[in-house]
Amino acid sequence: MPTTPTPRIAIIGAGPGGLTCARVLQRHGLPVTVHDRDPGPGARDQGGTLDLHEDNGQLALREAGLLDDFHRLSRPEGQEMRQLDPAGTVLFHHTPEEGERFKPEIDRGVLRDLLLASLEPGTVRWGHTLRAVEGPAAGPRRLRFADGTVTEADLVIGADGAWSTVRRALSDATPRYSGVSFLEAWFHDVENAHPDIAAFVGQGSAAAADGDRCLFAQRNGGGHIRVYIIQREAADWITRAGLTIEQTDKIRARLLDRFTDWSPRFRRMLTDNDGRYVDRPIYALPVPHTWQHNPTVTLLGDAAHLMPPLGVGVNLAMLDACDLALALANHDKVDDAVRAYEQTMLPRAAEMQKRLDGGAEELLSTDLPDFATEAGSR
């Protein structure tokens, strides 16, 4: 526990990384404030399902004292995986064994609610959109928000994602488009409204690719399935086609043309979705992304090392968060804690960035997702 005056710690971003960091800090008696731009915890959809791994995400939850709650809320059956070809032939099918807990699934919203409920009341200040981090590098730092409020902090932690505002205080790097775009389709009440798709996907995920396109379908909690239509397209391909995201029927016709030779069971994933599509071009930070040490600002998760979505992002963010919180709890000076954290986090992130560099393209490969190799390596 620090013997110097208690530092004022401000976390920007109430995602899994930011909230995990806050939880571990509070468990060690360190006060912290989390600022988030959303007006409240239920302001928007939190996204799909996550697989939290035993060797990173679950380690962070154990340190947060939430691992048992996670296992109670998670869906181990979500580890089921099917790899198919575009004709719908199953090439590989992994069914989790009883008690398998290597990477059970949990919906993002459920995980966020678990973390939020674990924090002291008033920890998160909603409706705080950060505009700038000001003040000298030695501190204190001034945080200027869009609503005109200003607050001071001795340490600013950027957990604010791909387009991090905090990152600008450390680095000029900006995410670059990967050349691959996701279009997300939602299916609700699948057992009743979409029974064929529900049976096709199973309790976990099902994927097929042909080298140029990929369909990845994933079961979420509450009877929902999300399908990710993955294509090599310009980031603004919808606009270039003279369309808007609201023109569901015209986008659907374009997709049916592109997937014309795929199995009808896959094509129903393009046509039977509930509501409009969600456009998600895939960006990544330069590899490796590093910065000169600063004693009063640091980053975690996507703000530090945005990578293609290949199952590691949230896990690394939560591990970052845990490592940083423990460093702060175990060092007398913030500067020493940040330095120790970055000496661990930056090499780890650089190694993973290099491994996943260009990984968005691999999503289109007929070898990916390689469930057979993944299952065999456990």
Q: Which CATH class is domain 9-78+102-174+285-359?
A: alpha beta
Binding residues for NADPH: 44
**R_g (Cα) of the chain, nearest Å:** 21
Largest Cα span, the chain:
67
For 178-284, the fitting CATH number among 3.30.360.10, 3.40.50.150, 3.30.9.60, 3.20.20.120 is 3.30.9.60
Binding residues: 44, 51, 108, 302
For the entire predicted model, the pTM comes to: 0.93
Report d(CA 152, CA 160) in Å as an integer.
18
Residue-range domain boundaries for the chain: 9-78+102-174+285-359, 178-284
Contacts of 167 (CB under 8 A, 6+ apart): 158, 160, 173, 299, 303, 304
How high is the pLDDT of residue 41? 86
- Spell out the per-residue pLDDT of the chain, length 378, in tens: 444 679 999 999 999 999 999 999 999 999 999 999 999 888 777 788 999 999 999 999 999 999 999 999 999 999 999 999 999 999 999 888 887 788 999 999 999 999 999 999 999 999 999 999 999 999 999 999 999 999 999 999 999 999 999 999 999 999 999 999 999 999 999 999 999 999 999 999 999 999 999 999 999 999 999 999 999 999 999 999 999 999 999 999 999 999 999 999 999 999 999 999 999 999 999 999 999 999 999 999 999 999 998 878 999 999 999 999 999 999 999 999 999 999 999 999 999 999 998 888 888 888 745 434 443 332
Binding residues for FAD: 51, 108, 302
Pairing of strands 176-187, 278-284: antiparallel
How high is the pLDDT of residue 1? 41
How high is the pLDDT of residue 376? 33
